[in-house]
Amino acid sequence: MEIIEHAISEPFEGVLVEPVGGSRVGVLVLAGSSGRIDVERCRVLARAGMTALSIRWFGGDGQAQGICEIPLERFVEAIDLLQTKAGGRVGVLGFSKGAEAALLLAVRDPRVDAVVAMSPTSVVWANVGPGIDGLTHPYRSSWTWRGEPVPFISYDDAWTPAEAEGEPTTCRTHYEQSRQTHAEAARAAVIPIEQTAAQIVLVAGGDDQMWPSLLFAQELAARRASVGRPARLVTSFDAGHRPRLPGEGPAGHSDRFRYGGTAEADAALGTAAWSDIVAALAGDLHTGN
């Protein structure tokens, strides 16, 4: 399918990719803590017949340089823009921290018809990097809504990586330990995904070494099932933190972090989830609800 790309500079930096002739399905694509505008993923979705928008939601001019107190209203504005280009169904596809934002957005904006959460979390975490003030501490929420911080879990600064200095770090145990240390905050930081009517697809690898996304996805699915709104969970035991969709190249090598999985397993998980992803975004996913 032929596609067209449009660079966006206002009201935020981004890219919109659409099929020639347009689409009645619009998808907001939210990358993770890389902060990148995910052009490749937008192209994949556009070739599947959807209009896809990806924005820089931190790290740009006038924005926090880290994921710190990011207004969820920024994504509401992105949906406003998306609806001017594709006036029908709205989906949000988020990866990692982007999945955290996507799930929170669905709870707050009833226009969200579907969420695809890749390597998600079931709870809200503290900031990753500095806020608009340039400071990383004290810990603050990753997100705000209507000017108020969303309840969050702080990191346990007593945690130390298992790897030797200079080796790529496995962060999973940091999240696990922090959640145990701050158990009371963790209860308040749960993402109440049962409150949205949006269709939900959860994609998580059992070998995720960044954070325990499969456990998180199972918790999200359980919350949905408890109110009779089943989510679709797609997983594999050997995939890591970075599933890849059909048409995407392998994730880049990192000397800083261990993500788990292999290029083959990560691609296989993305392929296994692809039909459910497309069906949910298009409104054709049948989950029994």
Find, among 159, 162, 119, 121, the residue nearest to 266 by Cα: 119
Find, among 118, 86, 82, 88, the residue nearest to 102 by Cα: 118
pLDDT digits (tens, 9 = 90+) for 238-258: 999 999 999 999 999 999 999
Evaluate whether 145 touches 71 at the Cβ level (below 8 Å): yes
pLDDT digits (tens, 9 = 90+) for 139-177: 999 999 999 999 999 999 999 999 998 999 999 999 999
Find, among 231, 229, 267, 262, the residue nearest to 248 by Cα: 267
User: What pLDDT does 87 receive?
Assistant: 78
% of the chain exceeding 70 in pLDDT? 99
- What are the C-alpha distances in Å from 86 to residues 49, 50, 90, 116, 256? 11, 9, 8, 18, 39
User: Chain-wide mean pLDDT for the chain?
Assistant: 96
Residue type, 191: I
Per-residue pLDDT at 105 exceeds 80: yes
| C-alpha distance across the termini of the chain, in Å | 32
- What are the C-alpha distances in Å from 108 to residues 59, 71, 72, 99? 24, 12, 9, 14
Backbone Cα Rg of the chain = 18
Query: pTM, whole model, 2 decimals?
Result: 0.97
pLDDT digits (tens, 9 = 90+) for 171-221: 999 999 999 999 999 999 999 999 999 999 999 999 999 999 999 999 999
Evaluate whether 233 touches 218 at the Cβ level (below 8 Å): yes
- What are the C-alpha distances in Å from 276 to residues 125, 196, 199? 27, 19, 11
Evaluate whether 241 touches 119 at the Cβ level (below 8 Å): yes
Q: Which two tokens mark 141?
A: 């929420």
Report angle CA 241, 243, 246 to the nearest 5 degrees. Answer: 170
Element (H, E) at 93: strand 89-95
Element (H, E) at 33: none
Evaluate whether 128 touches 99 at the Cβ level (below 8 Å): no
Domain boundaries, the chain: 3-282
Per-residue pLDDT at 289 exceeds 50: no
Contacts of 21 (CB under 8 A, 6+ apart): none
Number of H helices, E strands in the chain: 7, 11
Tell me the pLDDT band of 288, cut-offs 50, 70 and 90: low
Q: Does the domain made of 3-282 have the CATH classification 3.40.50.11540?
A: no
| 3-class DSSP state of 57 | coil
Query: Using CA atoms in the order 243, 249, 255, 256, what is the torsion angle rounded to 10 degrees?
Result: -40
Element (H, E) at 46: helix 39-47
Q: Which two tokens mark 190?
A: 């749960």
CA–CA distance, 108 with 168 (Å, rounded to integer)? 37
